[in-house]
Amino acid sequence: MRGRQCNWILAAFISVFMLMGLLPATVSAAPDDSWTDYVEDSFEGGTGTKEDPYLIATEGQLAKLSKDVAEDEDGLSYEGVYFRLENDMDLSAYVWTPIGTHTWWEEGTESSMRSFCGFFDGNGKTISGLYVDEKANQRGSAGLFGRIVKTNANTEVGVQNLTIDQADIYVGEEGFMEVTAGILAGSVISNPGMEIEISNVTVSGSVWSATLPVSILPTVTLKISLFPMGALQAALWD
């Protein structure tokens, strides 16, 4: 529809890594439950500083991060806070809720926005079986992270040293002004002049749309440190 922008963002945000075409005929079977029902009460350890990051050792602890961001009414969660993945994760048992969301309805009203503003170190680990269905959840930003944002020049924001293997990401377009989807993140945004770090991230899988079928390169490795966000914005908003 007129005025609606659909930004398909792979492995964080770079659309040039995408191949347009038909999806494979076989669609992954959807899990029955959501990880939001299996959230653990606390992280494995740590205090959230760069020297002593919060440690995430289980899938339920990773789901806690998603839940914390979703429930933060301020909309800017974990600014200046660091996390480190301690083990490989298998998320195939349940539907994943992205860490951060952005929903903007066609009427022009920005219905909701929750952003992750911290730093996530994958510690060389692999997340497999990621299944996101924002089409069913009526949200417009899909990925492991739904929305990563930097508004404070004095903090580090980003993701590093992570592999996401064989992900399935679903996003709908009906009723939205804007839709963003990717395997690592649906959208990555900073204030002018600020930088976000995405480094040593490898992803594989598919991004699915209700009306725009997309297949992606089997594996994409990003080695982008402190990417200039002004150039990123120019690439996304045409």
228 assigned to some structural domain: yes
Q: What is the pTM of this model?
A: 0.77
111 assigned to some structural domain: yes
Average pLDDT over residues 88-98: 93
pLDDT in tens, 139-179: 667 889 988 999 899 999 999 999 999 898 887 666 555 66
Share the mean pLDDT of the chain.
74
pLDDT score of 133 more than 70: yes
pLDDT in tens, 191-231: 888 889 898 898 888 887 655 444 343 333 333 333 333 33
Q: How far is CA 15 from the centre of its chain?
A: 15
222 assigned to some structural domain: yes
Q: How far is CA 5 from the centre of its chain?
A: 18
- Sign of the alpha-carbon torsion through 211, 212, 215, 217: negative
Range of the domain at 200: 5-14+47-236
CA distance 119 to 80: 7
193 assigned to some structural domain: yes
23 assigned to some structural domain: no
36 assigned to some structural domain: no
Alpha carbon dihedral 129, 16, 233, 195, in 10-degree steps, equals 60
24 assigned to some structural domain: no
137 assigned to some structural domain: yes
Tell me how many domains the chain contains. 1
Task: Say if CB 135 and CB 172 are below 8 A apart.
Answer: yes
